[in-house]
Structure 1
Amino acid sequence: MSDTPLPAPLAEIAEDFRSANNELKLQLLLEFSDELPDLPERYAGRLEQLERVDECQSPLFLTVEVGEGASMDERPVSLFFDAPAEAPTTRGFAGILHEGLDGLSASEVLAVPDDAPMRFGLAEAVSPLRMRGMVAMLARIKRQVRVRTAS
């Protein structure tokens, strides 16, 4: 794992998971699943405007919006996810990333280490295939931020 620190909101969530036993980790994941916000009206029913994350075992779609700012440090990132209610693990991963990254600056999101999902201790509670989905979500988020901030 890299030594790069996680942004404060994501680091706090990671600490909560690392300090929990596997049963509690799964309970926390369910809570993040329940707290994942619905898509805003402009995306509702328009999944073609979102990117599908094929590595997820359940259909998960996401998109990123980057606000205006004089520098990457001043451009806020907004994350939007769509995942079915019957896919609580996938929704939970999306909920963690939403809670931990939404509202951060573009430079903060791009600085998140690629191995961040492995820092939650979730690999002990869910399958490696599921962890690959969360890693892929983070990669797509960072790629979309790079695309939307390229000028």
Structure 2
Amino acid sequence: MTAALDEIIEDFAALTDSEKIQLLLEFSDELPELPDDLAEAAMEPVPECQSPLFLSVDDSDPDSIQLYFSAPPQAPTTRGFASILHQGLNGASAAEILAVPGDFYTSLGLDSAISPLRLRGMAAMLARIKAHLGPTGR
């Protein structure tokens, strides 16, 4: 895990279910806007998410992967998950991202507060990022 992702997991571990939901909503508000030169149409959809989510992985520098996410403001859970991945993985190396367990989201302790279907959306986001970075990516 990256240090940033470990820190996020620790933050969630110290909270009650209702506080975890509040923190997830705070993450939702922190999802960065897309750069002007990146159009959503050029991004990869993640259909496993219950709400529309698009991502782009810039691996031009394998030592500093840049991640971009787009999700509507009306989808705060999806935006929150995307923001967690952005804050926890953006700028990490390809090797660090590939080493993140596919089910790391269980460490957030959201399983009692968020439906399994929504949690699988977060797993799908990470899987698509990894697929892009792995030997069979692109």
Give me the TM-score of the superposition, normalised by structure 2.
0.94
AA matched with 2:14: S
CA contact (8 A) 1:66 1:149 kept: no
Task: Identify the residue that residue 20 of structure 2 maps to in structure 1.
Answer: 25
- Coordinate RMSD, CA, aligned: 1.6
1:148, distance to aligned residue in structure 2 (A): 9.1
Task: Identify the residue that residue 3 of structure 1 maps to in structure 2.
Answer: none
Q: 1:78 to 1:39 in 2, by over 3 A?
A: same
Distance 1:122 1:93 in 2: 11
1:149, distance to aligned residue in structure 2 (A): 7.8
Q: Does 1:65 align with 2:58?
A: yes
Identity %: 54
Unmatched tracts of structure 2, length 5 or more: none
Matches within 5 A, 1:99-118: 99-118=87-106
Aligned length: 138
> Could you tell me which of 109, 116, 141 is aligned with 2:129?
141
Distance 2:126 2:137 in 1: 17
1:147, distance to aligned residue in structure 2 (A): 5.9
Q: 1:90 to 1:137 in 2, by over 3 A?
A: same
1:134 match: secondary structure: helix
2:105 match: secondary structure: helix
Distance 2:106 2:60 in 1: 29
Task: Identify the residue that residue 53 of structure 1 maps to in structure 2.
Answer: 46
2:121 match: secondary structure: helix
Unmatched tracts of structure 1, length 5 or more: 1-5
Distance 1:29 1:106 in 2: 25
1:115, distance to aligned residue in structure 2 (A): 1.1
Distance 2:68 2:83 in 1: 10
1:146, distance to aligned residue in structure 2 (A): 2.2
> Could you tell me which of 99, 113, 125 is aligned with 2:113?
125
1:48, distance to aligned residue in structure 2 (A): 2.6
Distance 1:14 1:24 in 2: 14
CA contact (8 A) 2:44 2:55 kept: yes
1:123 match: secondary structure: coil
Matches within 5 A, 1:82-97: 82-97=70-85
CA contact (8 A) 1:65 1:148 kept: no
